[in-house]
Amino acid sequence: MSKTSSLLGCVLVLAIASTAGAAEASRPAPKTNTRNVAIVLYEGVELLDFAGPGEVFAAAARFGALRGQPAFRVYTVAKSKGPITSQGFLKVTPDYTIDNAPRADLIVLPGGNSGALSEDPRFIDWARKAIDGAELSMSVCTGAFVLGRAGALDGRTATTWFGATEKLRQTFPKATVQDGRRFVDEGRIVTTAGVSAGIDGALHVVARLLGRAVADKTARYMEYHWTPEAYLAQKYSLLNPSLDDRGRALQRAGMFEDEKNWPEAAKAYAALADEDPEDGYSWHRLAVALHYSGDAQGALSAAKKASGFREVRPDALVNLACMYARAGQRNDALGALEDAVAAGFSAKWRLQGDEDLASVRDDPRFQKLLARL
């Protein structure tokens, strides 16, 4: 089994939502660590004001995932379900309205023609309740006026787009409005300056909630030159501060994987599996790390163990199929693939394009499996 093979496709891709099927061992679903992020849209919203933070939180959802659960669930909310136009050319259809939107843990209020929101009593009534119930609310540019109308800036320091600071100061005299700030963090309320400043504010929120490691990885993925001020950077926890010891151990193990330090990743996941033998996720990732460490037999054994847990069963079975196929065990490979599909695996593209399965691709059983997907 070649270490440079496309087993990366088989082993490293996680199925977040694939949990169907019977298993020899199972446990109650773990408590979710996913936060709801509601991005508010309206006619005339500034494009980068919502797209920038949206990109940050969507990417951080993957990089901050724990046990296959994304760190964030990002969706859009507007007063109605009809398409809105941003920047005069981009039409966007909101996911929810203010009448049916899920409760938000994080709210993003972008700028632009924000008077459409701040001068609308019905929207402000919704916003006031949503902000009160959220863990954190963040404005970009003139979205700060919405926070102000909702009473969230009273007694707080805030900022906004440079061309609107004086108006914000006059409109909300109980707030301390500062010029020249990229963003201002007041705990549950974060305000940012205009347009691209929303990216910096969102990365700051990610670093605060999920740790500096996830924020750095997000910025790197976006190829964004993020340089947090020194006084802030020293306050960020490297790892997710809301996790318990086991959660942080899982995050450290994932960081070894990111570095492709497979021996250390294998040690970390082996320790986690030893501590809790009923943790299928740790067995699943242990199989990955052992494979890339060169321990084929250990990887096969861990993958077999992982396939007995509902939370990872479909992917673990596909990994087994890849290992069997590489070893020339066609029947075992096809049997594992059939079990994976029965357990809920549905990513047809992975089976069609994975080089590890080349030796079974011409088999009629394989073609029948593809036809079911």
Return the residue matching tokens 């600071």: 165
Strand partners, 45: 112
Q: Strands of 106-109's sheet, edge to edge?
A: 96-97, 72-78, 35-40, 106-109, 136-140, 189-192, 183-185
Backbone angles phi, psi at 318, to 5 degrees: -65, -40
CATH of domain 7-17+243-372: 1.25.40.10
Compute mean pLDDT per 10 residues along the chain, 373 residues long, and list them: 42 37 42 89 98 98 93 97 96 98 98 95 97 98 98 98 97 97 97 97 98 97 93 92 94 95 98 96 96 93 96 94 92 96 93 91 93 90
DSSP letter for each residue of 135-158 = SEEEEEGGGHHHHHHTT-STTSEE
Q: What pLDDT score does 62 carry?
A: 95
Q: What pLDDT score does 315 carry?
A: 94
The domain over range 35-233 is classified in CATH as 3.40.190.10 = no
Q: What pLDDT score does 24 carry?
A: 38
Q: What pLDDT score does 77 carry?
A: 98
Q: What pLDDT score does 230 carry?
A: 87
Q: What is the pTM of this model?
A: 0.85
Per-domain residue ranges for the chain? 7-17+243-372, 35-233
Q: What pLDDT score does 32 carry?
A: 67
